[in-house]
Structure 1
């Protein structure tokens, strides 16, 4: 790839986790050593003006641009979100629209969950050759679709073999052009609606079902889960309790890494808060879905 091109990175968040974006973009800025400029396309699910300003102030490089995209404008009116039984916020489904929030001429994007810290030059991920695959991802720690506590609960009914590999959707290296041409977003949402009762990890369920065996497997260090030790991860993924909470229970070293980057942002004096805040959010998400299901049933 041409090293003069711009790297396109898509993020999505609500206001609650805006603080995580600041640490993430700072880590990408400081560890990017080659000469590509970087565009961040942030799907904004009601992030406050103040928090947007703090995120923008976290970046000093003139070669980094931040583009804000209103979540309500990102989702086509024809798309209906699956109201599942999980505590995941509806924001989790926005990643499926990533190829549509960037300029149509862009052929490659990186999607990152905001609960990540990048320790390697992002250009190395950007330049990975995926061959003819539509996207690349890292195998989840659930490993296979038959995982007894996760995976794809109805994998047998869907005709999947028990050892089919299962990926984590927190990091996706996407051939955006191929994704759009194959109409992947609509296929994923159809899958979600067709299997509503089996959804366990929001969009990750739909992506793994709709795109079974159609992904390029990346080095696991590109999406290293903070629950496991590693002296040389490329990207740390805090997929359990986030490091901003006192109840954080993953590798303590990785929490230190997070705060080392956060201290370089306008949130530099931030201290971990009670984990009760996190639990209240989960309850809110579940109640919101119950209400939405009730309203749908009344129509």
Structure 2
């Protein structure tokens, strides 16, 4: 059986659903050959409802792992908000515990972030030979800058990984990562990503970019070539109304097959977001909508500024 793991909280339940749906629809082997592990700290009624949907719709096996409190205690000193990262949570570190949480007989797993969309069967990635490495991943979009900061020879993006869990356990990778996190001189900027790249530098091998094509609004790519996994990096995501990238359509395509199919895009909440949406509408020749969006958000911020001034004067 092939194994895939996600680590999520309630904030990403919708996006996890889109990603998981894309994984299941594109899996070319018999679906009962696939086991999906969901590690979470938010196993509430809404979460359970989504899991029931997948169990009733697909033949794959779905196993929920509630993160043990003891693991959360080990992350008490882990940096979460940094100068570079403001949009993620402590869940980012949960992947470090996969070797402990997943049953000992599982020796290999693909880890996926919830902001990924899978475009082909994942079994090709699972069958990749890691050689003597423990982790296989794709170089980060900003690898040069990350290497300069981390002081490593290479730097992968950890949104899509192949892990040799047998060797992960043998080489004590979890404790090595935790030791680095709790080190006073750690150089953690991108949370688990810096932790893995620095603490486990010599355990990493590089795989083709097709397994983690990192998409952002400034990246110009108009057509899918041989990409297997799309990864929507940066704080701007395809579920945002102002997200302007042709590949956003893949997120919405798979979301249509989930309980969240009628969920509208997130509206702008600040001027840069409103400007991005207004510009997008303008380029689509929706001039009236473009002006209305920008006028609405600017008027709200103007009123907020007036209120702040009045409060100060009082």
Shorter-chain TM-score bucket reads 0.7 to 0.9
How far the C-alpha of 1:52 sits from its partner, in A, is 3.0
Cα 1:246/1:189, change in 2 over 3 Å: same
RMSD: 2.3
> 2:136, 2:207 within 8 Å by CA — same for their partners in 1?
yes
How far the C-alpha of 1:139 sits from its partner, in A, is 0.6
Q: Which residue of 1 aligns with 2:250?
A: 257
Matched, 1:42 2:38: yes
> 2:55, 2:62 within 8 Å by CA — same for their partners in 1?
no
Give structure 2 stretches of 5+ with no counterpart: 273-314
Alignment equivalent of 1:19, drawn from 7, 14, 17:
14
Q: Which residue of 2 aligns with 1:237?
A: 231
How far the C-alpha of 1:197 sits from its partner, in A, is 5.9
* Alpha-carbon separation, structure 2, partners of 1:258 and 1:59: 21
How far the C-alpha of 1:141 sits from its partner, in A, is 0.9
How far the C-alpha of 1:110 sits from its partner, in A, is 0.8
> 1:12, 1:42 within 8 Å by CA — same for their partners in 2?
yes
The SS at the match of 1:98 is helix
Structure with greater Cα Rg? 2
Matched, 1:198 2:187: yes
Cα 1:100/1:273, change in 2 over 3 Å: same
Q: Which residue of 1 aligns with 2:307?
A: none
Matched, 1:248 2:243: yes
Cα 1:195/1:169, change in 2 over 3 Å: farther
Q: Which residue of 1 aligns with 2:263?
A: 270
| Structure ranking higher on relative contact order (CA contacts 8 Å, 6+ apart) | 1
With structure 2 as the length reference, what TM-score do the two structures score? 0.76
Cα 1:98/1:58, change in 2 over 3 Å: same
With structure 1 as the length reference, what TM-score do the two structures score? 0.80
* Alpha-carbon separation, structure 2, partners of 1:275 and 1:196: 38
> 1:11, 1:43 within 8 Å by CA — same for their partners in 2?
yes
* Alpha-carbon separation, structure 2, partners of 1:205 and 1:26: 29
Give structure 1 stretches of 5+ with no counterpart: 1-5, 280-299
Cα 1:141/1:66, change in 2 over 3 Å: same
